[in-house]
Copies of this chain bind each other. A is one copy, B any other.
Amino acid sequence: MNQSLDYKIHAPIGVFDSGVGGLTVAREIMRQLPKERIIYFGDTARVPYGSKSKETIIRYSRQIAHFLESRGVKAIVAACNTASAYALEEIRPELKIPAIGVVKPGAKVAAETTANGRIGVIGTEGTIASQIYTEMIHRHNPDASVMGKACPLFVPLVEEGWLKDPVTIEVARRYLASFQESGIDTLILGCTHYPLLRSMVQEIMGEGVNLVNPAYETAQELKRLLSQHKIPNDGKGDRQMPMYQFYVSDAAEKFKNFANSILPCEIEEAQLVQIEE
């Protein structure tokens, strides 16, 4: 094995999101690939991405991807549906390392597992307006009928901590009403915050609807990608290097508290980075 490949094997995975939502993806990577190191970047100074334009999302994602590359990561995961939808194809050619998003893995499994060909997608305004899930689903299943619904209040409700609250249930009922009439059998949780509302959404939609969590599918896709490039971590390497590192563009303390409420490990610090520079 040459030295460069050996370095790469032990290098961390770069994971980024507009804020805390991507932690649900980092959590799945920790569970499914426990030997991999992770560097997480949350763009908490410019959150949320969901309501911003394509040009702005590309500019922000480019800054972050280059920051992660400069930290020596071996692969990048855009753990943000909006960034995956708008920016991934644009910035991939500029990177020296492979990069995946959360949209393609979630779309693929939904396209392959639907029985009646009727798939729903919930997400931010940006993700739904981009039609990216429809496009990706049609690559695998051109006859599928895809219905999207933007749910802009879900993120602030999750961040308020009202996860099983009557207000959140009422908001969810309203957002999901159109799906109940249209007879979907598969619903993609197309925003990284939404897995935290999973049981509520399942209850409203009923057991007959299969919920797809792109975080889970993305960790599976990452596993395949690392094997394909022959760079999965063998668990050896520099033991001085921390397993998990967290960077944010603002409000590090608040980020740390949220992270510790949902991650399986305790994080001690989130470091502040001026990402605009």
Q: A residues touching B (Cβ–Cβ < 8 Å)?
A: 44-47, 51-53, 55-56, 152-153, 156-157, 159-160, 166-167, 170-171, 174, 249-251, 254, 276
Find chain B residues with CB under 8 A from A47 CB.
51
Q: How many copies does the complex hold?
A: 2
A47 to chain B, nearest CB (A): 8
Find chain B residues with CB under 8 A from A56 CB.
45, 249-251
A6 to chain B, nearest CB (A): 39
Q: A45-B46, A153-B153 are in contact. List 18 more A-B contacts (CB 8 A).
A: A46-B46, A51-B251, A51-B254, A52-B250, A53-B250, A53-B251, A56-B249, A56-B250, A56-B251, A152-B156, A152-B159, A152-B160, A153-B156, A153-B157, A167-B167, A167-B170, A170-B170, A276-B276
Bound-state CA distance A55–B160 (Å) is 23
Find chain B residues with CB under 8 A from A249 CB.
56
Provide a sorted-by-A list of 7 A–B residue pairs whose CB atoms are within 8 angstroms: A45-B46, A52-B251, A53-B250, A56-B249, A153-B157, A166-B170, A167-B171
Query: Are B167 and A160 closer than 8 Å at their CB atoms?
Result: no
Find chain B residues with CB under 8 A from A51 CB.
47, 251, 254
A155 to chain B, nearest CB (A): 8
A133 to chain B, nearest CB (A): 21
Complex: chain B residue closest to A162, CB-CB: B153
A82 to chain B, nearest CB (A): 13
Find chain B residues with CB under 8 A from A44 CB.
52
Find chain B residues with CB under 8 A from A174 CB.
167
Cβ 8 A contact of A156, one of B46, B156, B254:
B156
Bound-state CA distance A167–B167 (Å) is 6
Find chain B residues with CB under 8 A from A250 CB.
52-53, 55-56
Complex: chain B residue closest to A276, CB-CB: B276
Bound-state CA distance A55–B159 (Å) is 22
Complex: chain B residue closest to A150, CB-CB: B160
Find chain B residues with CB under 8 A from A254 CB.
51
Bound-state CA distance A254–B249 (Å) is 26
Bound-state CA distance A52–B44 (Å) is 8
A222 to chain B, nearest CB (A): 30
Bound-state CA distance A221–B56 (Å) is 36
A182 to chain B, nearest CB (A): 22
Bound-state CA distance A141–B162 (Å) is 37
